[in-house]
Amino acid sequence: MSPQDEVTLWRGVPPNCRDPAGEVVNGYAAVDYPGNGPYFATERQIAHAFAFSYGCGIQELHIPRPLFEALVIQGVILADRYYPPGQSWHVPPGGLADFNAAIQQGTPNHYHPPPP
Amino acid sequence: MVEIGFVIEAVVTHVEHYGVFLRHDGEEVIVLIPEFSWRPVKNLRDVVRVGDRLKVLVLRYNYKKRQIVASVRRLHQEDNPYRELSRLPPGEVLEGTVTFAAGEDLTIRLPNGAWGDLPKRSLGREASVGDKVNVEVEALEVDEGRLTLAPAGSAVEAVR
């Protein structure tokens, strides 16, 4: 799958995250993300800005573009209105099972730990 | 509703790891952690407390949540490392450190605390986290704190 066929999601890992490397492989547990669920940015610099504050690294996820767009239409992935449209998103806990399945469909995901 | 671009004073109502919530004239205001300071703040609870009064710049309005999205750091331009970069002559060589090598860009941290993106393909060689690279400014948005870098010697076109 070429990068043009995928949407890349970035996440500055928050300090309370228990297993950032495991999440990009196994998915996000609803119990860990009550409320609005985890936030992701398609605008990479948003995630980097959080990563520089938190100092816990960055997660990089890939979802096939048609699947990403379908999940947005279905309301699994919601726009984060703190930023201009199309830049930042969140996944409420009820949609995490579908989201976790979607992040298995693209090229492999990565956790980039913070610099030493 | 306050106008975007106005400076308002608001009172801190609670603090989360991702941002500070405040109140102004009955409206909720949020300052997300990157907009709090030009320097990384790892724990907002170390620097702000419930009841504090803060001046904030209104950036945008979250119409869905009826929230004012605001910034503290943009009112402190004296601390803005990107403003410092804007004073440099074009082509000034800076030594930066690769802090992330994710996706198609390297994230480069400069000695003054600013960070920016350097497209991997522009460097012409492999680079890893921790490597030093010589760069120059290619594009800069001072208030947003957005910086695009180029390898040293490549951003300025020859003047004819």
Please report which helix (H) or strand (E) contains residue A72, including its range. helix A65-73
Report CA-CA distances (Å) from B128 to A60, A112, A115, B117, B150: 17, 12, 10, 14, 16
**What order do you get walking across the sheet with A39-41 strand by strand?**
A78-79, A88-90, A39-41, A6-12, A58-64, A110-112
pLDDT value at residue A76: 97
Q: Is the pLDDT of residue B157 over 70?
A: no
Task: Give the integer Cα–Cα distance in Å for B136 and B93.
Answer: 5
Angle at B146 between CA B140 and CA B148, to 5 degrees: 60
The percent of residues above 70 in pLDDT, for chain B, comes to: 96
Phi, psi of A52 (to 5 degrees): -70, -30
Instruction: Return the residue matching tokens 């990157």.
Output: B34
Task: Give the integer Cα–Cα distance in Å for B66 and A82.
Answer: 11
Shortest Cα–Cα distance, B39 to chain A (Å): 8
Residue A65 forms contact with B (CB below 8 Å): no
> pLDDT per residue over B97-131, tens digit each?
999 998 889 999 999 999 999 999 998 888 999 99
Give Cα B122 to chain centroid, integer Å: 23
pLDDT value at residue A29: 95
Q: Please, which residues 75-114 of chain A have a Cβ atom closer than 8 Å to chain B?
A: 81-82, 84, 110, 112
Chain B positions touching chain A (beta carbons under 8 Å): 17-18, 30, 32-34, 40-43, 60, 62-65, 67, 69, 97-105, 107, 115, 117, 129-130, 145-146
Average pLDDT over residues B71-98: 96
Shortest Cα–Cα distance, B51 to chain A (Å): 23
Amino acid present at A31: V
- Among A89-98, B59-68, B76-85, the minimum mean pLDDT is found in B59-68
Strand, helix or coil for residue B114: coil
Angle at B74 between CA B118 and CA A55, to 5 degrees: 50
Shortest Cα–Cα distance, B70 to chain A (Å): 10
Q: ipTM value, please give it.
A: 0.89
Report CA-CA distances (Å) from B55 to A9, B39, B48, B52, B72: 33, 18, 13, 10, 7
- Among A3-7, B1-5, B63-67, the minimum mean pLDDT is found in A3-7
User: CB–CB of A115 and B18 under 8 A?
Assistant: no
- Quote the pTM value: 0.91
User: CB–CB of B42 and A115 under 8 A?
Assistant: no
Average pLDDT over residues B138-154: 93
Please report which helix (H) or strand (E) contains residue B25, including its range. none
Q: Is the pLDDT of residue B67 over 80?
A: yes
User: CB–CB of A55 and B42 under 8 A?
Assistant: yes
> pLDDT per residue over A83-115, tens digit each?
989 999 999 999 999 999 999 999 999 999 998
Task: Quote the mean pLDDT of chain B.
Answer: 93
Residue A36 forms contact with B (CB below 8 Å): no
pLDDT value at residue B17: 92
pLDDT value at residue B160: 47
Q: Is the pLDDT of residue B81 over 90?
A: yes
> pLDDT per residue over A12-66, tens digit each?
999 888 899 999 999 999 999 988 999 999 999 999 999 999 999 999 999 999 9
- CB nearest B64 (choices: A54, A55, A81): A81
The percent of residues above 90 in pLDDT, for chain B, comes to: 85
What is the DSSP secondary structure assignment for residue A60, as one 8-state letter? E
Task: Give the integer Cα–Cα distance in Å for B114 and A46.
Answer: 14
Give Cα A52 to chain centroid, integer Å: 17
Which among B38, B133, B32 is positioned nearest to B85, based on CA atoms? B38
